[in-house]
Amino acid sequence: MQKCVRSHLLRFYIQIIINNKISITGGDIMKKISNTIENYEPISRDIKFLPKSLIRLTILKKLYESPMNMKEINQKTNINYSAISNTIHMLELSGHVYRNKNNYMLSNSMRIYVGNILKLAELTILLDEISEITQNHIVNSLPLESVYELYKLNSIDLVESDGLSVYKTYDIIEKAIMKSNHVNAILPFSYGEINDSFNKILKKDKKIHIISPLEIKDILFRSLNISDDNLEINFFDFKEDDYLLLISTDKKMMLGFFKDDGAYDQNRLLTSTDDNCIKWANELFENFKKENIKMSI
């Protein structure tokens, strides 16, 4: 059965909305998310009321940035005074906005709501940009804690192999390992050149922490210098949806997925040298370990 990460992750965010924690930004993305929320039946009428109007969302976004009076809202948004007044009045009646002297401010719960929909907007843009590696791939292996933070990958690149460089993605991984001072890796399969790269940096006194399935334990024991104190390997039992490749170094992160047919997609790889992306990758490693470790050596 095909799994679409975009649908999977948007539904996860909408569950947060139901618990009174979400909202949005600009144009087409706002319309997409507004429609998604509107069509998700379990959401209460009170919550559905909020994203129906782009004017309402625009005003909420501006008030999220800072308290403003009506004149400032008009100057920032070019929305006419009548529409601003009507919208603010409705939001006040619903308890989402309150007035402090001449300025309007969001309630605490509405700040959470708006902040999360801004994240949802970033996530929607991201998923559109990387759809080639998320459509028809196994994505349920991502821990929910990492799913919630996925919007942080706004500086990630999708690398694709071509006919001239079939092993392009593996070359990127090997070069990144060789330039690293330490590596966290979720390694679902054994690949000779990657194992060789690990052994080379172990000789340079670099630290490596690997999570792998039990089924390749014997192969890794033969391929890696497991007696090296700088190498730590944890093994666990793979479930059907536990398949992903993660290589996170101090300088670069790389993330690959398996296709729905169970084969690793060696032609596509998400990569980034951005600090936030690397931090997200290391947190993914820890979340994955926490959820899946069954046995360690």
Backbone angles phi, psi at 175, to 5 degrees: -65, -40
What are the backbone dihedrals phi and psi of residue 232, each rounded to the nearest 5 degrees, phi first?
-125, 130
The dihedral through the CA atoms of 287, 212, 135, 132 has a sign that is positive
pLDDT tens per residue across span 179-199: 999 999 999 999 999 999 999
| Alpha helices in 5-65, H assignment, sequence order | 5-18, 27-39, 45-49, 54-65
Q: Please state, in angstroms and rounded to a whole number, the distance separating the CA atoms of residues 129 and 124.
A: 9
What the block records as the tokens of 58 is 């625009």
> What's the pTM?
0.68
- Average model confidence (pLDDT) across the chain: 80
197-218 confidence digits (pLDDT tens) = 999 999 999 999 999 999 999 9
Q: What is the pLDDT of residues 128-183, one digit of tens each?
A: 677 777 677 877 778 877 877 777 887 889 999 877 788 899 999 999 999 999 99
Of 77, 165, 60, 76, the closest CA to residue 118 belongs to: 60
* Cβ atoms 281, 152 nearer than 8 A: no
Which domains are assigned to the chain? 5-124 (1.10.10.10), 141-296 (3.30.870.10)
